Amino acid sequence: MAHLEKGNLTIWLDDLERFLSPPAVTGEMIDAALQAGAVVIGTIRAEQLSLVSPRMMPGQNSQLQASLRNSRGVISRSHVIYLDRRWSEQEIARVRGVDDPRLKDAVRHSSEVGIAEYLAAGPQLMLDWRSAWAPGLNPRGASLVAAAVDFRRIGIGWPIPRQVLLGIHDEYLKQRGGARLRPESTQDAFHWATQPLHATSSLLIPDGDDAYVAFDYLPDAISREHNSPRPPDFIWEYAIETLPPKALHFIGHKAEEFGRVEIAEKAYALSADAGMGEGSFHLGYFATQRGEPEEAEYWFRRAISQGNLLAHANLAITLQQNGRPTEALEILRTGASKGDHASAHHLASLYVEEKNWIAAEDFFEGLLETRPSMAKMILGRLKLDQGSYDTAWDWLNAAVLDGNNEAYFYLGRLHEERGDVDSAEESYEIATLHGFARARNNLATLLYRARRLEDAERILRAVSQKDSRAAFNLAIILGETGRESEAEDFYRSCIESGSISAKTNLAVLISRQGRESEAMILLREAASAGDSHAMYALAGRFRRARNTREALSWCNKAIEAGSVDSYSEMGLIQESMGNAKAARFWYRRGVELGDMAAAVCLGYLMERSGKHKEAIRLYERAAEGGSSHAYFHIGKLHARKRNLNRAVPALESALDQGEDVAELLMSIYDALGEHEKRNRLAAKGGNS
């Protein structure tokens, strides 16, 4: 690229990941091409893009780290445009108006596959592959393709040498019938599998010196199929025994995804024996999951000795959980000093919990010379946690100037806490583009709170299949917008991923459908697993059912688990027992802790006792804290006292926030002679 002459030139790096492996395209090459006036276009699948995330750095050897840094240097120069596999309804509608018969045909299949995939001949190639198993056709070619597809499915994204495919394909052939299928010659098999369809794509794509990769559509299509078979045992074993050590890490990851823990452990053990710290790290993680802290400690320490930075944080957590906080703190300090962001964040969190701001700032200021980018980012986070926004702004911007893209996440938080939604949105979007998943969820939450539900849904839906937190938040939006069946599906997927909170939310959702017995089972399961929200919900249900004993039991457990909302619930239980004095105590305790529902309940108790001024004061406090129901009580109390002009703004605020006050408000409008307002509200059906 250094010898390019100025002129009209377009460089298309199709499947960019192929150009990021040695001999790799570099950022300097891209700069030279751009300076020569070229337009550089690259395409890369989301799965491949995730492999060059900064999260892949910890634990890699120096050669792989250098390769990852180069890859990010190339990608950082790009303007990224995300293309969904499925086209939107608007895009499909526009295509329907085009005369091109190929597009019209693709539209007819758009509910099954993406239009782009269809036009790339994916379904036809899939059909050719499946048909080829018939006796006398191309069963050997089909078995070669099957092997290449399963290599992709078990985590091997790079080209597979011809000899490796030949070494395993017979197993696939035997499964289908072997010699009885009258397989063709090896030469004919490769010729058939690599023959392009419509001059676009082939089942096996030649790549490198006599090596091949399966066409992208094939493994993706199998993954999308319901009840698709898992890769057979022999492909895992063959890959582990045959492929180079660098493959073991990826094989282990995929084995975990398929639930093949025994295969993952074997791959990681061989990786650890080959001196690769990520193998030891994952064995430590498995030991943690099994509740074997001594085993976990051994593997995490071995991972650290093999150069895995991330193991510092996990070892510290293991030590802390086993009553060794001093050792844990020292491990975190060591990890942070080496540049491990996870250790730095865990260490900062410990200091924040202890409110030990001086020790925190002293430590990270001490890293400004050796780890300036990380230290500035953490110092910005610490100042943000203290509410020192101006100082946080200075540190975080300094970190950004040093190239720390994670700082954009905390800038987003800073803007959000200051109420600057537009700036928060921009910062979260930049952080998301740089691979920080937390920023995506924060952005979606920000948009949700701004009631931009369609935008929030779009962001969450794009990653909901791989991110259980995104799936959980998406389920909340779907439930609120009346798509309860789809919301239930997402909650159940979260439950399968181990989310206890999803059980509580699903219980509330299906309870609204009258499925109370199912809801109670879910709530009991979630409460027994320690979810305070489920305990609180059970307490309310038993109170309304007049089962005071159970209500008290669950409410006490919820309070012990830290549920602030449960103070108002305890007050309601005490009221139901006739203990007004005890109810006041619990309500006041809840108000002190910030429970706005407790403020409303206490206000209503004061109102019924004739203490209207105190009731109004409590309602106003709750309204300032975001309680829409408080506005309802303020308006209703003023209306009862015939202070109609003071009742109107409170009731209008309640109406705007979804409270059912339309009839009361219309009657007050009539009483005040505000007939035009009354008619406008009636024309809206009583809704704001």
Query: What integer pLDDT is reported at residue 2 of this predicted model?
Result: 45
Confidence of residue 102 (pLDDT cuts 50, 70, 90): low
Question: So what's the pLDDT on residue 99?
Answer: 63
What are the pLDDT digits (tens) for 416-468?
999 899 999 999 999 988 888 889 889 999 998 888 899 899 888 878 877 88
Which residue has 């040498």 as its token pair? 161
- Region 657-684 average pLDDT: 85
Calculate mean pLDDT across residues 274-296.
94
* Residue 388 to residue 6: CA distance in whole angstroms: 51
Q: Is 292 left (phi over 0), alpha (psi -120 to 50) or beta?
A: beta
Per-residue pLDDT tens digits for 297-320: 999 999 999 999 999 999 999 999
Q: Show Cβ contacts of residue 69 under 8 Å, excluding neighbours closer than 6 positions.
A: none
Higher pLDDT, 530 or 118: 530
For residue 643, what pLDDT is reported?
Answer: 86
Matching residue, tokens 């893209």: 405
Q: Are 281 and 186 in contact (CB under 8 A)?
A: no
CA 254 to CA 264: how far, in whole Å?
Answer: 8
pLDDT at 105 over 60: no
Q: What is the pLDDT of residues 678-687, one digit of tens each?
A: 888 888 765 4
> What's the number of CA atoms in the CB half-sphere (13 Å) around residue 355?
1
CA–CA dist 522, 61 (Å, integer): 46
What confidence score (pLDDT) does residue 98 get? 67
Mean pLDDT to the nearest integer, 238-256: 90
C-alpha gyration radius of the chain = 31
Residue 328 confidence class, pLDDT cut points 50, 70, 90: very high
With a cut of 90, say whether residue 227 has pLDDT above it. no
187 versus 639: the higher-pLDDT residue is 187
Q: Cα dihedral angle (314, 319, 325, 328), rounded to 10 degrees?
A: -40
**Range among 150-154, 595-599, 655-659, 673-677 with highest mean pLDDT value:** 150-154
**Mean pLDDT over residues 552-578, rounded?**
92
> How many angstroms separate the CA atoms of 254 and 57, rounded?
18
Pairwise CA distance, residues 207 & 670, whole Å = 79
| Secondary-structure percent of the chain, ordered helix, strand, coil, rounded to 5 | 70, 5, 30
**Which helix (H) or strand (E) element contains residue 450?**
none
Inter-residue contact 206 to 225 (CB < 8 Å) = no
Residue 414: per-residue pLDDT: 96
**Residue showing tokens 């609204």:** 512
CA distances from 496 to 287, 351, 437, 499 (A): 21, 34, 21, 7
**pLDDT tens-digit series, residues 351-387:** 988 889 999 999 999 999 999 999 999 999 999 999 9
CB-CB contact of 424 with 406 (8 Å): no
Average pLDDT of the residues in 244-253: 90
Confidence of residue 688 (pLDDT cuts 50, 70, 90): very low
1 pLDDT tier (thresholds 50, 70, 90): very low
Per-residue pLDDT at 244 exceeds 80: yes
pLDDT above 60: residue 6? no
Quickly tell me which residue has 């969190």 as its tokens. 349
More confident residue, 20 or 245: 245
CA distance 414 to 294: 40
